[in-house]
Structure 1
Amino acid sequence: MHSSPLLLEEPIRISSILEPSKPTFFPAMTKIVGTLGQKSREVDTISRCLNAGMSVARFDFSWGDPEYHQATMDNLKAAIKSTKKLCAVMLDTVGPELLVNKTDRPISLQADTLVVLTPDQNKEATSNLLPVNFSGLSKAVKKGDTIFIGQYLFTGNETTSVWLEVSEVHGDDVTCLIKNSATLAGSLYTLHVSQIRIDLPTLTDNDKEVISTWGVRNNIDFLSLSYTRHAEDIRHARDFLSKLGNMKQTQIFAKIENIEVNFKILSILLGLKHFDEILREADGLIFSRGNLGIDLPPEKVFLFQKAAIYKCNMIGKPAVVTRSDAILLGAETLRGLYPVETIATVGKICAEVRAAIKVKASVIICFTSSGRAARLIAKYRPTMPVLSVVIPQLKTNQLRWTFTGAFEARQSLIVRGLFPMLADPRHPAESKSATNESILKVALDHGKAYGIIKPHDRVVVCQKVGDSSVVKIIELED
């Protein structure tokens, strides 16, 4: 009697789960966006984050001044140089975020007592009074409304976050009943009122100042537009960037986290026009699930997430959220004690998903100048990684000559399954076949260093020769 192949396969599958991941295992298709800050800003820590799999560094301007973030940026540049790892930079705007104005001194809030929220930011924060940065709060809420205050919304840690119920509105002040005892220990606390409209611009004057100084100086690759509510928000931001010279190439990611989009999100499966307009205008989307979990019933968040990511995949734009193009780590790397270990663990989880798929070709190598060809291939979610060889283009504005390509390579670092490298500008890929072969050899060596190409692997190569596109399959020797 022949034994069933299924019975033989099961123990092998179980043993592979029990075995630790091999250190040479090639990187995950999903990218990791790490937020740099208090616990992750030294050169050594950032270097280890890069080696562990971080491909985009996020700078959150909800806290810290530009000088603080510049010192972190300088450390990132040093880490990139020492590790020889490509890393993109994302500037996350503050936007119309409601913040509690307080110092680092812990403030204890007792359940069943009252606390007053006031727009007078000259007053000191105490257990009975919390200054906030929004003068329109008293006009936006009514008796019985729920207000949440916490570090990075929806932390689930009830000792550092608090739920309030509005009991009285008097002038500009809002008196609330504290629903659970908590201690506000850190300096950054966000205030969230479910289902109200915040009458503040998406791109604030403070955001514009940071972008036009810090952003321009550091040649940022991505702008994360917090609290995006309408397609017009993105058009306004893009118009602002277009006037800043080198910021024209910066991609804008719409961060979806507030109720104006969320109510419409519930009908996304019915062909949501509002969401589709945002998706059309943005270069990619970021889903802030913590905020969504406050505005929407928690069980609805994953339904929205699946539908929204499906739409992003269909249109071929990156979606930054769990199990998509990129996973964004906020507090985990910003103030968590184990930023490097977190990135490494998430990377292993993503890689193990990839390990379950057996492929005939180990990698697709795509020669491209704008990055579009490689993105198009990645859009169709091939089971193997795509190595994007970006060929710099020499351009002039009649005043000076510049090479393009660096932006295009770095901006691929947020796209699932895409691993970019920048070719030597002295050897354009469209020239002699010998030059093509030398660039291909460099690309293959790059793939070996990444761990995505091994001896005897089959490799699919896509390149442009003159006006024609050529696809060839090569089998590697030892």
Structure 2
Amino acid sequence: MAAAAGGEQLAAWGEEPVLGRRPKTKIVCTLGPASRSVEMISRLLRAGMCVARFNFSHGSHEYHQETLDNLRAAMERTGILCAVMLDTKVGPSPLAPFSISAVARLVLQFAICDFGVGLPCRLLHLVPLRDLDLRCDLWFLISAPPLFGRFCGPEIRTGFLKDGKPVQLKKGQEITISTDYSIKGDEKMISMSYKKLAVDLKPGSVILCADGTITLTVLHCDKEQGFVRARCENTSMLGERKNVNLPGVIVDLPTLTDKDKEDILKWGVPNKIDMIALSFVRKGSDLVEVRKVLGEHAKSIMLMSKVENQEGVANFDDILAHSDAFMVARGDLGMEIPIEKIFFAQKVMIFKCNIQGKPVVTATQMLESMIKSPRPTRAEATDVANAVLDGTDCVMLSGETAAGAYPELAVQTMAKICLQAESCVDHAAVFKYIMASAPIPMSPLESLASSAVRTANSAKAALILVLTRGGTTARLVAKYRPFMPILSVVVPELKTDSFDWTCSDEGPARQSLIVRGVIPMLSATTAKAFDSEATEEALGFAIENAKAMGLCNTGESVVALHRIGIASVIKLLTVN
């Protein structure tokens, strides 16, 4: 995304953002032990959280249900909408036993013996923030896959080890890898969870373990026995169930595991979640399969793809075409492609999402140091700002809010950085390059949306007001990145099948919370169609609320985009 330049802009960098103003860029927060109480969630909502991420690599359905109930109570308390994201992503591997404090292990062992595995998560609330190392140790122990016996998505992991003890691997040492996952590994042999390992690898292939801290080079593959002989390229300790990446290898694994399907159908669907973040999407047909699993619910749940390997990068355009939204998940992607190319992959992916009008989230280690520190590093602050300048719709916090010492401060800090970065965007230049890349011919709705932005820019309007049913029009307006905010007023739709009357829910409003610049609002008006009387009532309601929110003032211009019957209309209004 274009950034303004020149002395005037440099001088403006010293200006403080307007007090209480929210950034157009949305913030996704991962809820966890440090942030799942009603009180803390309320504080996160007020600080700027727009989307709550539920990481299903950690915790049971009951645990997440309690968190969701708390989120809904917090929304009721604050009057602030928040979308719900279910993430099928496997979290970090459990830390090696030697790196966990003895106190944490004793606390966890005591809790499991006396109360069962479901309770330890609650222990984190009893650990003072000053004992942050103990708190983090407990978090990683509680979230460790061996505890719950689960891992999701098409990921590969190393197996268990004899007596649960990590093994020392030395540079130049040769080791055998078996696909028999029941084997307890040692210094001579370990196991990996991918059955086709010996088939898909070849001499010279590279295996990365434990977030890339261990590199193995393949020497020989025994396809019949399922063995791979490899050489260690560095000295390191290997713990149990560490993540494995095979750069350049197309792995034959399902997009959704049975556990993923259970999480989605038995927890996500009944709870009317707004979106699903899918890990390791490799081709467009993966999205088709997920929609088949969702069945009739596919229309009401957004699918957000994460490309985390080279196969996904190669099929990016196909994946994006089948996705409702996209996440630039830089963690695993950074294991699959050279680290020096991550910045370029991020910029290309965001650019393509912007051109297609698909919401895009930038994630992974954005303010990582704030898990323990009240201030981010300069590099992290710059990273967040650059993601905004690249054109991201959302930025995401993971461990910072899930298990960090400063969850509220992390959100506040991210919001401030986003506001400052947004003040440097050259919106006129952005509008031009998106228009230059627009489809020819444009659809009537997109033509109208781009015209509304052009009108608002020319009139120096304070606000673009969109009346919508499902949020599509507001998202198209947001694609052209207007300088002013977009108030998306979702008018509930009254439907009848001759036997029953139903009114559409607030799902479309919540789903707009991942779109840059869009402020969703539920209209008090409900009608079977957009007639002139209902439209005027909805417009009046919206403008009064916009004034109350400080989005516009008396005498300022507002561009309104709505329908009357089957006709779409753009109006230039003056606020009374």
RMSD: 3.3
Cα shift readout 1:267-319 (whole Å, capped 9, x = no counterpart): xxxxxxx4332222211222222222222223333333333322222222112
1:334 aligns with 2:406: no
C-alpha contact (below 8 Å) 2:175/2:230 kept by paired residues: yes
In structure 2, relative to structure 1, the CA distance for the partners of 1:165 and 1:399 (3 Å cut) is farther
CA–CA distance in structure 2, aligned partners of residues 260 and 120 of structure 1: 26
C-alpha contact (below 8 Å) 1:220/1:250 kept by paired residues: yes
Higher percent of residues as helix = 2
Cα shift readout 1:166-220 (whole Å, capped 9, x = no counterpart): 46667445565555566778x9842212111221111222211221101112111
C-alpha contact (below 8 Å) 1:27/1:450 kept by paired residues: no
Could you say which residue in structure 2 is the equivalent of 1:292? Answer: 333
CA–CA distance in structure 2, aligned partners of residues 42 and 296 of structure 1: 38
Larger deviation, residues 387-396 vs 343-352: 343-352
Could you say which residue in structure 2 is the equivalent of 1:92? Answer: 87
CA–CA distance in structure 1, aligned partners of residues 236 and 179 of structure 2: 22
- Residue 99 of structure 1 aligns to which amino acid in structure 2? R
- Residue 347 of structure 1 aligns to which amino acid in structure 2? A
C-alpha contact (below 8 Å) 1:369/1:405 kept by paired residues: no
Alignment of 1:157-236 (within 5 A): 161-166=213-218, 171-172=225-226, 174=228, 179=233, 189-236=242-289
Higher percent of residues as strand = 1
CA–CA distance in structure 2, aligned partners of residues 49 and 200 of structure 1: 37
Larger deviation, residues 467-476 vs 404-413: 467-476
Could you say which residue in structure 2 is the equivalent of 1:135? Answer: 195
Could you say which residue in structure 2 is the equivalent of 1:396? Answer: 496
In structure 2, relative to structure 1, the CA distance for the partners of 1:99 and 1:343 (3 Å cut) is farther
CA apart distance, 1:343? 2.2
C-alpha contact (below 8 Å) 1:405/1:422 kept by paired residues: no
List runs of 5+ in structure 1 lacking aligned partners.
1-8, 155-160, 265-273
Could you say which residue in structure 2 is the equivalent of 1:275? Answer: 316
CA–CA distance in structure 1, aligned partners of residues 235 and 395 of structure 2: 32
Larger deviation, residues 118-127 vs 336-345: 118-127
Among 307, 311, 322, the alignment partner of 2:348 is: 307
- Residue 303 of structure 1 aligns to which amino acid in structure 2? F
Could you say which residue in structure 1 is the equivalent of 2:31? Answer: 36
1:354 aligns with 2:452: no
C-alpha contact (below 8 Å) 1:279/1:312 kept by paired residues: yes
Identity %: 38
Among 570, 573, 576, the alignment partner of 1:471 is: 570
Q: Tell me the secondary structure at the aligned position of residue 13 of structure 2.
A: helix
List runs of 5+ in structure 2 lacking aligned partners.
1-5, 89-151, 363-386, 428-456
C-alpha contact (below 8 Å) 2:462/2:551 kept by paired residues: yes
- Residue 305 of structure 2 aligns to which amino acid in structure 1? A
Q: Tell me the secondary structure at the aligned position of residue 420 of structure 1.
A: strand
In structure 2, relative to structure 1, the CA distance for the partners of 1:108 and 1:75 (3 Å cut) is farther
- Residue 210 of structure 1 aligns to which amino acid in structure 2? D
Q: Tell me the secondary structure at the aligned position of residue 462 of structure 2.
A: strand
1:254 aligns with 2:305: yes
TM-score (norm 2): 0.68
CA–CA distance in structure 1, aligned partners of residues 39 and 220 of structure 2: 51
1:53 aligns with 2:48: yes
Q: Give the length in aligned residue pairs.
A: 444
Could you say which residue in structure 2 is the equivalent of 1:23? Answer: 19
CA–CA distance in structure 2, aligned partners of residues 109 and 449 of structure 1: 63
Could you say which residue in structure 2 is the equivalent of 1:407? Answer: 507
C-alpha contact (below 8 Å) 2:495/2:528 kept by paired residues: no
Among 386, 400, 420, the alignment partner of 2:520 is: 420
Could you say which residue in structure 2 is the equivalent of 1:147? Answer: 207
C-alpha contact (below 8 Å) 1:391/1:405 kept by paired residues: no
In structure 2, relative to structure 1, the CA distance for the partners of 1:22 and 1:62 (3 Å cut) is same
C-alpha contact (below 8 Å) 2:543/2:575 kept by paired residues: no
In structure 2, relative to structure 1, the CA distance for the partners of 1:72 and 1:454 (3 Å cut) is same
CA–CA distance in structure 2, aligned partners of residues 184 and 108 of structure 1: 5
C-alpha contact (below 8 Å) 1:106/1:183 kept by paired residues: no
